[in-house]
Amino acid sequence: MEKKHIYLFCSAGMSTSLLVTKMRAQAEKYEVPVVIEAFPETLAGEKGEQADVILLGPQIAYMLPEIQRLLPNKPVEVIDSTLYGKIDGLGVLKAAVAAIKKAAAQ
């Protein structure tokens, strides 16, 4: 199976980079074939084209409609604030994989 690209976008980047590290560790542990990257929200239109799923940090949830408009053929979701706050790499990874599967089924 080819690797799926999970891209996270946020405003500051610090907590999201910690989350990416945790997600990568869980993906490696469970042998999930993914590439996980984090970017500032200003690059969503440019970088989002290569993503299989786009996850937004809760602090930029207000940008959801705009990013969905920029990338109409991509699944775009806001990371659950509880998972984000706990830096729950496995929980966010599961949500991302579910979003990829849901988009593929449509």
Rg (CA), the chain: 12
Distance CA 102, CA 106 (A): 7
Contact 44, 54 (CB under 8 A): yes
Please indicate whether residue 15 is annotated as part of the active site.
Answer: no
Catalytic residue among 6, 10, 34, 56: 10
Find the angle CA(3)-CA(54)-CA(40) to the nearest 5 degrees: 110
Active site residues: 10
